[in-house]
Amino acid sequence: MSDTIFAVSSGAPPAAIAVLRLSGAGAFDAAERLAGSLPESRTVALRSLRDPASGELLDRALVVVFPGPASATGEDIAELHLHGGRAVVRAVEAVISVLPGMRPAAPGEFTRRALANGRIDLSEAEGLGDLLSAETEGQRRAALLSAEGVLRREVEGWGGRALSLAAQVEALLDHSDEDDVAEGVDSLNAIHAAAAALAADIRTVTDRPPVERLRDGLRVVLAGPPNAGKSTLLNAMTERDAAIVSPIAGTTRDRIEAPVVRNGFAWLLIDTAGLTATPSDAIEAIGVARARASLGAADILLWLGDQAPPPHPQALWLHARADMPERVPNAQADLAVSAATGEGVAVLWGRLERLAAGLLPPSDLLALNSRQRDLCSAASAAISAATREQDLLLVAEHMRTALRAFDAITGRAGVEAMLDALFDRFCVGK
């Protein structure tokens, strides 16, 4: 954090413009050594950038400075808006890199400094990471809600209510030696009621579908007995040869995952080994075991088989190879499809999209990732436990547990171990 970092923050050259960002205590000095006098704060001005050692002209660029702490990172920031050719960027970076205290930024380091300096909280950083990788409109909207601080404001509201309840408990403890027992009981009952309402409000958010379904795609598992046409259907749905197809039963021995983005929905289609009670060898047995595990993790099950599918909350029973007259469909099957002719494939996608509407979080409401959901659930559980306690000391301890969970959501405490993994997802310059 003592170094001044620099990186192109506008995407890889070549491009029309390359924005080279410098952040840290030496940002203004470095920019001034290249550009001469700097413009006033937040004012863009044209400058000639020169190598301070040789005086050689490097580029004519727009320069703008943002004094900390009112900047994106909370530090002094200088931006050099260069011509976006690779040679221009390399020349300017080479000159900056030899200046004292300067070094290239690591992936996500600008955002990490913003988090460390209180410009954003952890939930906003997570939302920004999701926004950078968003491929669908639903992913963009969900990520933007988090990046814009919706979760932070929600958690701050919950935390404020919990803190108020904790203060009331402390006040009761301070006056627990007084004689008015009835008043104390009434006050504790009021605390219990307010805590129950707070826990219910938190559960309203945690009960929503997880944001991972938007980010990673709904897991659609194709399953059934050997040689049922699963791999052929996978290829038809992905419109490419994602899986090897053969008339030989047992060709697919392991899971095959194929991500698909279609009509604004992200999907992860998973082809599995044929389910059989009598695997022919140890390898096939492993494939069958993995297929059964995939069934349990499926958001939607596409069952290709003559017998009814195993129990699953979201299953579609497909009569596959509907173009083959010798295959008589089961009257209870949901849909007939033929990967060979394309019959029913478009209808199948339509059915999947209708199912997705109930499995994905609403685009206008906050959705939590698994880390946030676990912490919110822990806070809700602690607050609910407080409603069942008559011992004021235990009530106070449950409220402190909830407050610690809220602090972990926003990054105020207990999150250092996961920061490296988070910012490794970011590009250099962000």
Q: What CATH homologous superfamily does 214-359 map to?
A: P-loop containing nucleotide triphosphate hydrolases (3.40.50.300)
- CB-based contact 99:5 (threshold 8 Å): no
Contact 3, 69 (CB under 8 A): no
| pLDDT at site 133 | 82
Q: Which helix (H) or strand (E) holds 292?
A: helix 282-297
pLDDT one-digit tens code per residue, 238-272: 888 766 555 555 555 568 889 998 988 999 999 98
Give the dihedral of Cα atoms 227, 233, 239, 242; nearest 10 deg: -40
Q: pLDDT by residue (tens digit) across 374-407?
A: 999 999 999 999 999 999 999 999 999 999 999 9
Tell which wins on pLDDT, 257 or 182: 257
Question: What mean pLDDT is predicted for residues 296-324?
Answer: 87
How many alpha carbons fall within 13 Å on the CB side of residue 291? Answer: 27
148-151-154-159 Cα dihedral, nearest 10 degrees: -120
- Greater pLDDT, 113 or 227: 113
Confidence of residue 228 (pLDDT cuts 50, 70, 90): confident
Give CA–CA dist 65/31, Å, rounded. 9
pLDDT band at 425 (very low <50, low <70, confident <90, very high): low
Q: CATH 1.20.120.430: which residues of the chain? A: 124-209+367-410
CATH 3.30.1360.120 domain span(s) along the chain: 4-114
- Count Cβ atoms below 10 Å from residue 363 Cβ, excluding itself: 16
Cβ contact 90:45 at 8 Å: no
User: Would you list the DSSP string of 229-260?
Assistant: SHHHHHHHHHTS--S---SSTT---S-EEEEE
φ and ψ of 220, to 5 deg: -110, 115
Per-residue tokens: 107: 């992936």
Burial of 248 (0-12, 13-18, 19+ CB in 10 A): exposed
* Radius of gyration over every alpha carbon of the chain, rounded to an integer in angstroms: 29
More confident residue, 416 or 159: 159
State the Cα–Cα distance between residues 165 and 157, nearest whole angstrom. Answer: 13
Nearest to 23 by CA among 113, 91, 94, 107: 113
CATH level 3 topology of 124-209+367-410: Four Helix Bundle (Hemerythrin (Met), subunit A) (1.20.120)
Q: Domain 4-114 maps to which CATH number in 3.30.1360.120, 3.40.50.2300, 3.90.320.10, 3.40.190.10?
A: 3.30.1360.120
Question: b/e per residue, 154-185, with b = 16+ CB within 10 A?
Answer: bbeebbebbeebbebbeebeeeeeeeeeeeee
- Confidence check: pLDDT of 187 > 50: yes
Q: pTM for the complete prediction?
A: 0.74
3-state helix, strand, coil split of the chain in percent (to 5) is 45, 15, 40
pLDDT score, position 244: 56
